[in-house]
Structure 1
């Protein structure tokens, strides 16, 4: 069905920030109030493609293309409007129901769920400032939360009653079944309904469109048999694995500061945010998920984890950190004293003290190595944790440098550490859920890929693909250093994706039959040519490890050359504008040092691994 109701379209539009969406396709840089990049719709070098966050539009001064977020997806993906809405809805975690042509029940139902949550949020917020809400207000005032903080996040109070929300729903002529479906009422065994949240401080949870979709309720009684928190269950509009508390309010600050702070609880967000640290979100007491990591990666590639510093909290933090690393996010850890949380810390010490803690945050790998050698710490477990992080680093250059650096720090043989990292990466790959019936791979290229890099890397990528076609055994070895996104040439990436998935599914295909896997004539011709050249070649070197190692080293040099040229340009721009280029020069020096250290020998496996 192509028809999508206007209310759903509006919801998708609100949840799809034009800068966030276009950043998935174009490398944007802020200049003044707008963002600029290379236009994806025509060939250019000047960067005349402009995106306006305030107006939620884009325009290219070169080719004249322009429009809103839907227009961009239609042009970029080559789809019609309904499909563009669906693609963006999927990206934002918004379900578009598919009712029968003559049935709009499920559409009305979904809208009713949003309305029920808004009604509940309004009721809870109004109640906190009434006489019945005095226990909740006193609790918050005692913890030094101001009216400003309460109103900024619409904190409320669920009365000590079994049916106040139920009666409110009936007064609004709403069916109680809708409130039950929204997780606001529970059904009695004997029939009828009762309020799910009772005598609790209420924290509404909003989606990226700003709509209330769920609640967290904090108890006000001291009875230990009563759960401290009661949270909304999963509903048609709320999936906790794809939601971060406070992200709706924090989006602009995250983009402005270029990083986000992760905390655990609702008040850990509210107190710092009201005091001035607004780029802060919470997992709301649940373990960090892949979906949440991908969600925050739309806004930034830098995360500071600021969780409770007890043993259980530390382990949960490490698990979440590795999930972020796997998404290409730079992770730092900010430490608080045991038993302290961001809310209580700011209450006791002030917001500037928290800023100091955040500024002192240490890189994840440094944090993990600190535990080595400490009394009572399991050394084997600590090293395994370190290997877990190293194996999840997506950038091949960075992974290589980190393995070398931390092997030296820990006084571990570098090759031994490499073996562990490669072994774990292989295990991780086997856990991925590949669709063996569909060998199409959806890849989003990094925006930093330049035409210069693409031109220089093309022959190297061709050699790596050639090696995989001739020696299928080389596939796991090559992919221990690379990701599919490291292939910038579309054709070579398509071939590499096929070889990778055939290997993962343990599918053996005769070399000459590989051409049948490709519909594009150009790719089929290339594969056929390589296979036939190999058949007719005399004395092709059987040592594909040395061949591949030379290619991998060369590719990394080209990558670094491209980055060095880009940083040189940034240094010049910074100096012209009178800015401080110290950090850029330091980064330039680090990359120069890395380039000098790149050798083919660094990529060669041990003799045992070759077997």
Structure 2
């Protein structure tokens, strides 16, 4: 467990805008910051960060909380893991009550995989730098490729000894469980149940998560044996889904945001060489086809992608159709070809940083125009093939959600294809209408299956009102005004929070989290502490954090000159705090009394014994008087 003083130091040092800004491109809007949700696919920003309150709220997914909560939601960290990540970022030493090693067996499943992957990265890195075999084979290879000691250390490059059980044997000796060695893909189980190393005799490229933890590996053989695969990569696991990962993104995200552009290359070496040359906004899809998830990862930081191809014509043509996904996600795509025999790795090593940048500046083309040029070279004078090319180009343009941008490309393509612009626009509109019709049919199909009964035969569905809303309103008032001093007629020199606790002493909260919240608040008050909103925003239990954030986060805020601009007066609950606080308390009490009355009515209908009926009737009449008293109070005092 992390000590309370350490947690306090971490919370004090944490800048929520700075932390979330590492994962989401934020823009200032008034007092807050907004960006696209990292939890949902959206085109209009609904993700809001409030630096004043130290919270984020994602109105697309409903998630919200502190910087700690954000890391837990996005990276699936546990509470201590998120705190340790923040501590590392801000250079704070973490004090724990028990050593981590003693608690290894108690770590959750996901964290166990993380721990064993981190251990493997350290093992391979030390094997590269400290063993004779690693130095003579692995380190020599990396040096021949031109990688500096700084690059090798930064990317944690390594070497796996050319022995069957060098890593596995040492890991088991160190106390790591076989289950996690196999699940992470580091070890392979034989038929007889024993384990052996997956990456024997390979140089190792650790793959880092968004927050810098090692989650997988790529291992390259240095042998010329055709029967041995050149690369062996980690299998899918609980911590590694290759479609959601881009190699080098952890090291590139800051530069991508600053340059407002992302260079996309193919392999590990391309990323390392280009990054080492000082061009750090570079990532790789690691030999896999680009996925929508990877595109959206880039889209968090920039709307501009530049794809760097190595000049292999067959490979380029094969990847063209897949790149339409980038257009569909609303990103701008440019393409750069390198001369035959060169890839980004070799080109930057041969021509240096300035030569590399100049080649990109001189040769980059918009993807649509690049695709048009590539396909036209193949058709010659064949009109049938040309018609197919035209249709394929228009299909790509149809993917672009921005209609103005699409119109510009249609104009450019009409010139390159030597075809009337109106004909291309007509074809574009046909495709868009067909897509809209298809999408509409799919929505109707999902909403009303064929075997669904006739609508008019359906029984009437009674929609229940969310009875917890009034309880949540009480929580909101605790958070916003609990530490303010009361200055009302007849009541003074006390805080609103303790006053509310006393007034609600006879009220039983039904919403589980609201009930827990009030119990926590009551205990803190009894201990002489007045908890504020930050206390609950940083509370270790997620349900409490979610409740707190949902009550204080608002999607819209009025501008300072709202009234001057619109001449619309908006009620300010702070103008009459007595009405706001007492109104909420007595509305909640009235709701509770109403439920009791409803229960008594049902009991009266069921009971046939006269004595029991008399008891219930007396209780009912008493509660009606209570209800009237509350109603009279609300009308005469609160609403005036």
TM-score category of the 2 structures, normalised to the smaller one: 0.5 to 0.7
Name the structure 1 match of 2:472. Answer: none
Aligned-residue offset at 1:153:
1.0
Aligned residue among 8, 26, 38 for 2:30: 38
Determine if contact 1:262/1:281 at 8 Å carries over to the other structure. yes
Match of 2:122 in 1: 122
Equivalent residue runs for 1:267-346 within 5 Å: 267-346=269-348
Q: 1:501 aligns with which of 443, 460, 466?
A: 443
Matches within 5 A, 1:43-442: 65-67=52-54, 71-73=55-57, 81=65, 91=74, 108-129=108-129, 130-133=131-134, 134-360=136-362, 361-371=364-374, 373-374=376-377, 379-425=386-432
What is the deviation of 1:88?
6.5
The separation in 2 between residues aligned to 1:233 and 1:14, in whole angstroms, is 34
Instruction: Output the CA distance in 2 between the equivalents of 1:257 and 1:174.
Output: 42
Residue ranges of structure 1 left out of the alignment (5+ in a row): 1-5, 29-35, 43-56, 97-103, 433-474, 477-499, 520-611
Q: Provide the rounded CA distance (Å) in 2 between the counterparts of 1:189 and 1:15.
A: 52
- Please tell me whether the aligned partners of residues 311 and 341 of structure 2 are also in contact (alpha carbons under 8 angstroms): yes
Q: Structure 2 vs 1, CA of residues 297 and 95 (structure 1 numbering), >3 Å: closer, same or farther?
A: farther
The runs of 5 or more residues in structure 2 that have no matched partner are 1-6, 35-47, 80-103, 464-640
Q: Name the SS of the counterpart of 2:287 in structure 1.
A: coil
Task: Find the aligned partners of 1:146 and 1:419 in 2 and give their Cα distance.
Answer: 55
CA contact (8 A) 2:210 2:250 kept: yes
Q: Is the 8 A contact 1:305 1:317 kept in 2?
A: no
Distance change (3 Å), C-alpha of 1:175 and 1:256? same
Which residue number in structure 1 is paired with residue 494 of structure 2?
none
Query: Does structure 2 conserve the Cα–Cα contact (< 8 Å) formed by 1:15 and 1:208?
Result: no
Q: Secondary structure at the match of 1:350?
A: helix
CA separation in 1, counterparts of 2:343 and 2:290? 18
Quote the offset at 1:131 in angstroms. 0.6
Q: TM-score, normalised by structure 2?
A: 0.56
Deviations for 1:560-596, whole angstroms, at most 9, x for unmatched residues?
A: xxxxxxxxxxxxxxxxxxxxxxxxxxxxxxxxxxxxx
Shift of 1:403: 2.2
Q: TM-score, normalised by structure 1?
A: 0.59
Checking the alignment, whether the CA contact within 8 Å between 1:368 and 1:385 is kept in structure 2 is no
From the superposition, tell whether residues 165 and 105 of structure 1 become closer, same or farther in structure 2 (CA, over 3 Å): closer
Asked if 2 retains the 8 angstrom alpha-carbon contact of 1:15 and 1:92, the reply is no
CA shift for structure 1 position 58:
6.0
Bigger Cα displacement from structure 2, 185-194 vs 319-328: 319-328
Structure with bigger RCO (C-alpha 8 Å, 6+ apart): 2
Contact 1:388 1:424 in 2 (8 A): yes
2:164 aligned counterpart, secondary structure: coil
Distance in 1 (CA, whole Å) between partners of 2:433 and 2:73 is: 30
Query: Compared with structure 1, are the counterparts of its residues 120 and 369 closer, same or farther at alpha carbon in structure 2 (3 Å cutoff)?
Result: same
Tell me if structure 2 keeps the 8 A contact 1:15–1:209.
no
Residue 408 of structure 1 deviates from its aligned partner by 3.9
Counterparts of 1:430 and 1:105, CA distance in 2: 55
CA distance in 2, matches of 1:66, 1:39: 10
Partner Cα separation in structure 1 for residue 278 and residue 107 of structure 2:
39
The whole-number CA distance in structure 2 between the counterparts of 1:15 and 1:192 is 49
Greater Rg over alpha carbons, structure: 2
Note the C-alpha offset of 1:174. Answer: 0.9
Judge conservation of contact 1:162–1:195 (CA < 8 Å) in 2: yes
Q: CA separation in 2, counterparts of 1:242 and 1:303?
A: 17
Q: Secondary structure at the match of 1:154?
A: coil
Identify if the C-alpha distance between structure 1 residues 78 and 173 changes in structure 2 by more than 3 Å, giving closer, same or farther: closer
1:209/1:338 CA distance change after superposition, 3 Å? same
Taking a change above 3 Å as real, the CA distance of residues 328 and 78 of structure 1, as seen in their structure-2 partners, is closer
Cα distance per residue 1:511-535 (max 9 Å; x no partner): 99xxx99x9xxxxxxxxxxxxxxxx
Shift of 1:74: 7.3
Deviation at 1:150, TM superposition (A): 1.4
- Indicate if the aligned counterparts of 1:95 and 1:237 stay in contact, CA closer than 8 A: no
In structure 2, distance between residues paired with 1:174 and 1:88: 26
Q: Deviations over 1:493-545 (max 9, x none)?
A: xxxxxxx9348878999999xxx99x9xxxxxxxxxxxxxxxxxxxxxxxxxx
Deviation by residue 1:32-70 (Cα, 9 ceiling, x = unmatched): xxxx3234699xxxxxxxxxxxxxx9656xxxx331xxx
CA root-mean-square deviation = 4.2
Secondary structure class of the residue paired with 1:73: strand
Q: Is the 8 A contact 2:218 2:233 kept in 1?
A: yes
CA positional deviation for 1:315: 2.5
> What number of residue pairs does the alignment pair up?
408
Evaluate the alpha carbon distance shift between residue 178 and residue 81 of structure 1 in structure 2; reply closer, same or farther with a 3 A threshold.
same
1:514-593 matches, within 5 Å, as none
SS state at 1:273 partner: helix
Cα distance between partner residues in 2 of 1:223 and 1:188: 23
